[in-house]
Structure 1
Amino acid sequence: MRLTSPTITRTAAPIRFTFDGREIEALPGESIAAALSAAGILAFRETAKEKAPRGLWCGMGACWDCIVTVDGKAGQRACLVKAEAGMRVEAAPPREPAPLATPPAQIPDRPCDLLVVGAGPAGLSAAIAAAQAGAEVVVLDERGEAGGQYLKPLAKSHVHAAPDAQFRKGSALLAEARAAGVTIHQGATVWGGFAPDEIAALVDGAAVTFRPRRLVLAPGAHERPVPVPGWTLPGVMTTGALQTLARAQRVSPAARVVIAGSGPLNLQLACELLAGGVEVAAVVEAAPKPGLAAWRAMLALARTSPDLAWDGLRYLATLRRAGVPVLWGGNILACEGTDRFVALHVATPQGERRVVAGAAALNIGFQPETGLARALGCAQRFATEGPGAEIGRLETVTDGDGRTSVAGVFAVGDGAAIGGSRIALARGRLAGLAAARDLGLAAPEDARAKQDLARALAFQAALWRIFAAPPFEPAAIADTTTICRCEDVTAGALRRAMADGARSLAALKKQTRAGMGRCQGRMCGAIVARLAGAPADEAAFAAPRAPIRPVPAAALMREVPEGYATPVIAAPATSRWRSPALPLAPENRACDVLVIGGGVLGLSTALYLAREGVDVLVADRSEPGLAASTANAGSLHVQLLSYDFGQKAEAAGTARSAMATLPLGPRSIQLSKEIARDAGESCGIRTEGGLMLAETAEELAWLRGKSAAERSAGVESHLLGANELRDLAPYLAPRFLGATFCPAEGQIDPLRATAALLGLVRNAGARIAGGVEVTGIARDGPGFAVATEAGTIRAGRIVVAAGPWSGRVAALAGVHLPVGGLVQQVIATEATAPLVPHLVAHAGRHLSFKQGLQGHLLIGGGWPGIHDMVIGTTHTRRESIEGNLWVAGHVVPAVAGLAVLRAWTGLNVQVDRAPILGEAPGCPGLYAAVTSSGFTLGPVAGRMTADAVLGREAIPAAFSARRFGGCSS
């Protein structure tokens, strides 16, 4: 329904667009979500996994739950995209997505004195202060209008004859910013922070790299999740989402609404809805009704901000006069409905109640948007103050001027720490002045701003005492309740993963996909961390990725020179991040064979040993499978790659090793299929063949020689001409002259396969010890004494299967293993219809391309990332993302119609193109198990290692650790 008001009138005649063929009336300037809500349409789409209806949730573009297809363009947020006449909107994703952007010929650098991310109260205040001091200031904001959530203006579809104080403040702040010369880009998406002076963004749909001398982060906050049964139903949304519909767009999704949660925002919304003609069924407040004990807090409200205190009293009086019940001490139990919301179940001090309504607005506090700050390395703290903080939230650590731990970067407003608009205004001004002084400009201290900040902080502290909600109890969440909205992951699925041994958020993500969807964990990360009992620090939350929010692939497609070698890290640092260390269980203090490293190769070795009755212990410094085994894209390679054959390989001296390794691929893939069979699931294995494409005559000639070499090693390989290639792979661009086709190649789901392998290892009787870091290896009679943080493990034999860290581990026993690391990236797009059945590579470009079973395109190919030798983490490079996407779009044009959901890096093994297996010379009983292409070759390398340990079969000389000599000491 559309709201009514004697002072707010429409400014233009309606327009019309279609939604799934139905004509919808809209007003110019309003969002698609507002127009659909006005028409009574609450379900905008269905989820891919469960086919569950979904509609508006956050209303501010953070959750990505309201995505629709607009004129053939997939993944458009209905809450942000403006309705236009003749627009064709559809709930389902398109079969053939239209391009989302025009690929850039180049991506310009844009220098400025100060870049501000976010045009809410904090961002605008900082921008004004710095600009008035003489700085060149640019503000980037994702929404169509400045003001943020608190100062959001009335949509251009309406005009207000008597705007309230909030509207007036927003208009005045925006006018002041423009008068000061601030450049504001609305609809601008910041997708990556690679350094304080390297901020990647889209402005008017085009990629720009901003190079600021100083940076202010003011991205605001989003409302925290409310994981109760039915909270994903269409018609259930955040209070902020409903307020945006009502206050800015003059729309309500239903004629009768219930509002629940905690905080004064719920009271304000109720009054605004009443004024617009909506019936408010009830306001449910989690905090107990204020009594005499709260009088000090109420006096503090009146003393520090009398106008806001008066607003609160006015809201309560308005609701009382309208007969709207305010249910103090009410706890949300469930949202009832099938295809849409119909009633809210709440527990009150007087008993359980069922409140019937057509829509529900829920708010139990806020969480800062810290993704960009964390991507830049700004220190965080775990906060537990204020409404909704009982689940915990990360806040950026700052000083009094808003400086973070990273030089040149400031963080202010609710995007740094929850505090409300007045704290944001004051902190924004102080940060803007401090940034101006850093730039050498005259910007005196502002005593008034500091006084305003002190009063606002006192007011907020008193407010939080009044609206103190009861503690959050993760155990109370029912197993059937959805936790991750993007991937349809329930609390029960998370608990089952924990029962199977997952102890950290990282492990839970990889076992369940929670936090891997479009919102990147914004809506579920904190809840998953609490369910897991993860430590209260940054490691308990989803790691920030670039892009920090989905971005059109086409907008980033820039051709980058590929004439480089991925830097080899001779001695990779060990990451500071790890799941919590655990004490050694008594049964884990001795074993026959100790396998150090719980990746696919270590687990495969343990599986084949345990099945022979060997007493096996797998020790991992974190949790099994959390490193390269689940950071790769799951390619099952058989063909020789560009650096395996030809002059490059000959010059590097790796051609012979690559040829010797070639027959292992098909054998290992067969073992993977047997592992999947034994585990009772497919593990996502598909072997529909692999293509390596030739774009030039020279590349085609190279492929001809390569194919002959592969056939000589017993590997099936076919050379295809252009016509054959088009018939086999119509999804490819028409520029290719031919390809080699290897029927044995394909893909596997690393997450499912690792979990399945881990289950088989346990079932076979091997023991798994996570959180155990090996610190020393010494002889102990015929065996070894292995020192760890938690005590000594006595082992008869040792298998070093620690991936790129194997050289570091072997060195503890005086054994030299020439193992290094390569940081390589993978990119995942949003899901699309089945398109690419093959594993695709390019003879002259860095590319590995396939489509996962869930429809996501997975793009890699050895593009390098960055390894931080200080903290041991890996990061993406902006140029690698751009270049990788250009090659992918050059090969498969459909990529231009999809958004990139995430890009990540992993530390891959660097060896001489052949596995390093078998007993180390001069150190009897210590075995090496190291290989590149770990997910392809892990099972066969594990089988060969187990056979060597059992004395059944010698390791071939081409793979033997003996080819590198003996002990180093």
Structure 2
Amino acid sequence: MNEPVSFFWNGRPVAGQAGESLAAALWRAGIRTTASTRKRHRPLGPSGSFIAGCLAGVDGRPNTRLDRVFLAEPVRATEQNTWPSPRFDLLRAARLLPARLVYGGFEHGAFAPRHPRLFTAWERLLAFLAGVGDATHVEEGPLPQGRRIAVDVLVVGGGVAGRTAANAAVAEGRSVALVSLSREPGSFARAVGADLPALDPRVDIFSRTEVFGIYRKGGLVAAAPFDPRQGALVFTPGRTVLALGRRSIPPLVRGNHLPGVVDAHFALALAADAGVALGRRVVVVGTGAETAIATRLKNAGANVVAVASVGKLQSILGRNAVTGAVLDRRIACDCLVHAGPWRADPGLGFQAMAEGLGQLGTSTDAGSSVSVIGAAATAPDSLLLPERLDADAYVCPCMDVTVGEVLHRIREGETDLEVLKRLTSCGMGPCQGFPCWEMLAAVVAKAAPQAAQAVPRPSHRAPRRAITVAQAAGLHGLVEPDR
């Protein structure tokens, strides 16, 4: 992975290494700001938590994840949501707007004209100002043709639990497919020192692939490779095992959106896998795993200057990037890694239920064909919120939803998560509700604890990121419609 490969970012040449992701190559080059929030155009960067910070245009293809494009040849990548150009972006003036002015989004504002023609023009203007890509891009060449795969057992996730389940199913004489986000299944578990069992060679591995939908109570599972030139996959499994593990939820403090704030997964992918320096001074916070994560980062060459409980974190400092953290004292740093609280993304399990209102229940609600195992099946960690919520902390930076906006709605008497989602657009961006709805629920629970006990969870609907329009078109004829 040391062979040099040059690419272009916003029209300027950048040196990278073959095999590393564009996100890692940009970070190595000192470029951390790669996107901006939807309404106020505040800076975002790759974080592992907020998907919008990783979206850019790559070779004319909009909304491409920089952490899922791996350098093999020169490419041209461009920051989106800028005008007239990334180098001279007048839209950054929106950072001067008071947060309250854009509560709910411009489309919910009092400035919207009432006349139908004027409203249409207004909507087009808003789509331009808040857009994150050119929808006129047309793929050249043939459509990536999908595949339909019948398998006895489908395992989603390649950590300890996923590998163990796959090996056990193969030992019983069953055909097994394993889908993993990583090039090597279980890379995060390996990075934190877990003892991974070797995968039985009879397990069919689909790496760098994401399951984006579970339909018909687990009877049909759809996935897409990161490479948009490869066709999507439709599995028809007899049984599906979700071993997705858990992710760290960002701290709900001021500055949590800044470039330089990353979760433990992304930090280890940069430092341990890609050999990229996280920064000159790194702070690690967490809910018990922070010391182990800090040790791993130090072994990978990171200069960790402080390790603390995330409950002690008061704020993250910086205007355009991280410059410090306030714990029991102010600490200068240019990277903050959070390792907890840990929560599993419930989206796929939610989809598998496919009945009633679709509200969350136990994995048995999906029937015997879908099960959740490993860390994803454990009780979620409680989110440690500061004693006093900071109105400027982001709940959903993709859609520019702050704590202040949520509290504003709560003061108006609204505490239902589904209604709050619609009023604020929280979780309706590329994150598709995770981790934003976890943070939204935590704010409601703290500000209105009695109401929060009866609040249902918003619905997670397929597709869950991953698939391109071309890949979806390539599935034509492979799935019979419900009648």
Q: Does 1:185 align with 2:216?
A: no
Contact residue 225 and residue 524 of structure 1 kept, 8 A: no
**Cα distance, 1:396 vs structure 2:** 6.7
Question: Which letter maps to 2:221?
Answer: I
Alignment match, 1:58: 48
**Cα distance, 1:519 vs structure 2:** 0.7
Alignment match, 2:367: 406
Q: Does 1:551 align with 2:464?
A: no
Kindly provide the CA deviation profile for residues 361-411 of structure 1, in whole angstroms up to 9, marking residues without a partner as x: 1233211122111111189xxxxxxxxxxxxxx99736xxxx665122221
Kindly provide the CA deviation profile for residues 120-175 of structure 1, in whole angstroms up to 9, marking residues without a partner as x: 221121111111221111111233331152125xxxxxxxxxxx964xx44x52xx
Where structure 2 has 5 or more consecutive residues not aligned to the other structure, the ranges are 81-131, 446-450
Alignment match, 1:73: 61
Kindly provide the CA deviation profile for residues 884-905 of structure 1, in whole angstroms up to 9, marking residues without a partner as x: xxxxxxxxxxxxxxxxxxxxxx
Q: Does 1:27 align with 2:8?
A: no
**Cα distance, 1:412 vs structure 2:** 0.8
Q: Does 1:344 align with 2:309?
A: no
1:279 to 278, 303, 315: 303
1:502 to 406, 414, 431: 414
Contact residue 212 and residue 464 of structure 2 kept, 8 A: yes
CA distance in 1, matches of 2:260, 2:150: 44
Q: Does 1:335 align with 2:357?
A: no
Contact residue 31 and residue 79 of structure 1 kept, 8 A: yes
Give the secondary-structure state (helix, strand or coil) at the position aligned to 2:410.
Answer: helix
Map 1:779-818 to 2 at 5 A: none
Alignment match, 2:443: 531
2:362 to 373, 376, 397: 397
1:357 to 333, 338, 343: 333
Contact residue 224 and residue 466 of structure 2 kept, 8 A: no
Alignment match, 1:82: 70
Map 1:554-569 to 2 at 5 A: 554-557=470-473
Q: Does 1:40 align with 2:30?
A: yes
Question: Which letter maps to 1:397?
Answer: T
Question: Which letter maps to 1:481?
Answer: A
Q: 1:551 to 1:107 in 2, by over 3 A?
A: closer
Question: Which letter maps to 1:79?
Answer: D
> Among the aligned pairs, what percent are the same residue?
27
Kindly provide the CA deviation profile for residues 858-912 of structure 1, in whole angstroms up to 9, marking residues without a partner as x: xxxxxxxxxxxxxxxxxxx9849xxxxxxxxxxxxxxxxxxxxxxxxxxxxxxxx
CA distance in 1, matches of 2:480, 2:224: 13
**Cα distance, 1:498 vs structure 2:** 2.3
Give the secondary-structure state (helix, strand or coil) at the position aligned to 1:189.
Answer: strand
Contact residue 72 and residue 94 of structure 1 kept, 8 A: no
1:522 to 434, 437, 447: 434
Alignment match, 2:347: 371
Alignment match, 2:162: 123
**Cα distance, 1:186 vs structure 2:** 1.0
Contact residue 103 and residue 554 of structure 1 kept, 8 A: no
**Cα distance, 1:340 vs structure 2:** 0.6
Question: Which letter maps to 1:187?
Answer: R
**Cα distance, 1:240 vs structure 2:** 2.5
**Cα distance, 1:102 vs structure 2:** 7.0
Contact residue 475 and residue 531 of structure 1 kept, 8 A: no
Count of paired positions: 418
CA distance in 1, matches of 2:141, 2:418: 35
**Cα distance, 1:474 vs structure 2:** 7.2
CA distance in 2, matches of 1:131, 1:283: 42
Contact residue 194 and residue 878 of structure 1 kept, 8 A: no
Where structure 1 has 5 or more consecutive residues not aligned to the other structure, the ranges are 1-10, 153-163, 287-329, 348-352, 380-393, 420-463, 562-876, 881-969
Give the secondary-structure state (helix, strand or coil) at the position aligned to 2:53.
Answer: coil
Question: Which letter maps to 1:356?
Answer: A
Q: Which has the larger radius of gyration?
A: 1
**Cα distance, 1:501 vs structure 2:** 3.3
CA distance in 2, matches of 1:417, 1:121: 14
Kindly provide the CA deviation profile for residues 781-836 of structure 1, in whole angstroms up to 9, marking residues without a partner as x: xxxxxxxxxxxxxxxxxxxxxxxxxxxxxxxxxxxxxxxxxxxxxxxxxxxxxxxx
TM-score w.r.t. length of structure 1: 0.40
CA distance in 1, matches of 2:475, 2:362: 38
CA distance in 1, matches of 2:18, 2:361: 39
Alignment match, 2:106: none
Alignment match, 1:416: 377
2:292 to 260, 263, 268: 268
TM-score w.r.t. length of structure 2: 0.78
**Cα distance, 1:550 vs structure 2:** 4.7
Contact residue 506 and residue 542 of structure 1 kept, 8 A: yes
C-alpha root-mean-square deviation of aligned residues, in Å? 3.0
CA distance in 1, matches of 2:399, 2:340: 23
Contact residue 343 and residue 355 of structure 1 kept, 8 A: yes
CA distance in 2, matches of 1:110, 1:560: 15
Contact residue 144 and residue 470 of structure 2 kept, 8 A: no
CA distance in 2, matches of 1:516, 1:373: 19
Q: 1:81 to 1:107 in 2, by over 3 A?
A: closer
2:152 to 99, 104, 113: 113
Question: Which letter maps to 1:69?
Answer: G
Contact residue 281 and residue 335 of structure 2 kept, 8 A: yes
Give the secondary-structure state (helix, strand or coil) at the position aligned to 1:361.
Answer: strand
